[in-house]
Amino acid sequence: MKTKIFPIFLIFTFSIIFFVFYKGLQNTNVYTPTLKSEIKIPNFDAKEFFSKDKINSDQIFIGSDYYLLNIWASWCVPCKEEHKYLMDLSKKENIKIIGQNYKDNFENAKNFLINLDNPYDLIFLDNDGTIAIEWGAYGVPETFLIQNNKIIKKIIGPLNEKLLFEIKELTQ
């Protein structure tokens, strides 16, 4: 009896291990930081894009119902793709679009806005990428929807039709 239990136990254990690993193969192994709860927006100092004046985040996120913070750069190809959706959102009255220009060359960034139009109500510079870390972002483009100084939605990667619709729903 004892000799029979052992092989059965072994087969059982290995089939469980096989099953777990086989399932695991299909999982993505790329981690993306998710937004678990509504968190407060960070406080930081930055320079305004055109005038190069120093501004604090408190001066930026005040007065409007909703804010959409978009981290962008002229060298980022997906930023061009999502640009039309930002233009669409810029027509909405109750939402202010704030641009964070990430590690960019000023002339290139300016040309980007001239060629594709400027959807932003205000742009500030993030030349060394440390403000992006304050937001918990790790690449471009990333978009944050803000209400009452709290991040209510975080979008990693470019916007699309579906996300545009979601943002419009949220900011009704």
Query: Shortest distance, CB of residue 123 to another protein, whole angstroms?
Result: 19
Our CB check for another protein shows the closer of 72 and 85 to be 72
74 within 8 A of 109, measured Cβ to Cβ: yes
Our CB check for another protein shows the closer of 29 and 94 to be 29
Name the strands in the sheet holding 122-126, side by side, starting at the edge strand that comes first in the sequence.
Answer: 39-40, 150-156, 142-147, 66-72, 95-102, 122-126, 45-48, 54-56
Query: Shortest distance, CB of residue 164 to another protein, whole angstroms?
Result: 26
Which CA distances in Å does 110 have to 4, 51, 86? Answer: 76, 13, 17
Query: Shortest distance, CB of residue 127 to another protein, whole angstroms?
Result: 10
Query: Shortest distance, CB of residue 109 to another protein, whole angstroms?
Result: 15
Query: Shortest distance, CB of residue 37 to another protein, whole angstroms?
Result: 12
List residues binding another protein (CB under 8 A).
29-34, 103, 128-130, 132-136, 138-139
Our CB check for another protein shows the closer of 54 and 168 to be 54
Our CB check for another protein shows the closer of 33 and 168 to be 33
Our CB check for another protein shows the closer of 133 and 170 to be 133
Phi/psi for 157 (5° steps) reads 95, 180
